[in-house]
Amino acid sequence: MKKKILIISGGTSKERKISLLTGREVAKELKKNGYAVKKCEPNENLTHIVKTFKPKIIFNALHGQFGEDGYIQSILENLKVPYTHSGVIASAKAMNKEISKKIFSKNKILTPKYIKYSFDKSKVELNNLIKKKLNFPVVIKPINEGSSVNVFICNKNEIHKKLIKLKGYRHILIEEFIPGREIQAAILGEKKLGAIELKPQRKFYDYEAKYNVKAKTKHIIPVNLNKKKYLELMKISLKVHNLIGCRGVSRLDFKFYKNKFYLLEINTQPGMTKLSLVPEISAYNGINFINLIKIILKDASTNK
């Protein structure tokens, strides 16, 4: 009898398109390898679908708000079917950039300095606060988005124009800009899976650089680091994966500047598309796409 896997993808977040791509790629690979697969949206029909389809495991292919912030995870807990990736608390911690940065700092993990901003200051007050705490340029970003959605690098002259684009959020982070190399690392269970360096042609590794092949972001693997620095990178990555309480796979985004790693964030639901980094890192380290998916499924089944 074929093992039944339910894939939840799509959703309502700004990362809907990427989630659908992840769901499609995972479904195609599983079907090719003899699994019975059903795809669905995370809507009011979910409970009914689970009861009628009776999946062995739910593959959570959602990205962004509702999908990786603990919300859908709390629903899946009540359905009592094993599901992939991190649980409720770890997902909520990782998705909230302020909470995760506090965890990093408390545990002596280097991360850019930041200010939490609630659109409650005049232009002059904000400029003075940034000058005192951070200095320009700065990075502005929502506290709870992924895939570099609505992330901007700003100098003093443009920050207030960019902030208008983020008015829909209650709180945002204004973060110290760290130049240097873009390096991302992946953890799979307790395994230090590996790392990749990105050289975007754009200003930084933003949404377009991540998902548009025309952006021509260069992927460099293996990363050009000496053995000591590479081991340090992977040690930090595994430590943070465990500090947050992640399950399955996670991807950690770093800047490498003046021989130091600055952790920007941890992603508990990394993409599984043709342009995604975790499958690329995995393949380089001898784990093909179907085996990567099987490991993620196995991790879910052992964490019921």
Catalytic residues: 15, 147, 211, 251, 253, 265, 267, 271
The closest alpha carbon to 279, from 267, 265, 291, 268, belongs to 291
- Measure the CA–CA gap between 1 and 119, rounded to whole angstroms: 57
* Length of the chain in terms of residues written: 304
Beta-carbon count within 10 A of 9 CB? 26
Pairing of strands 57-60, 138-142: unpaired
- Measure the CA–CA gap between 139 and 116, rounded to whole angstroms: 12
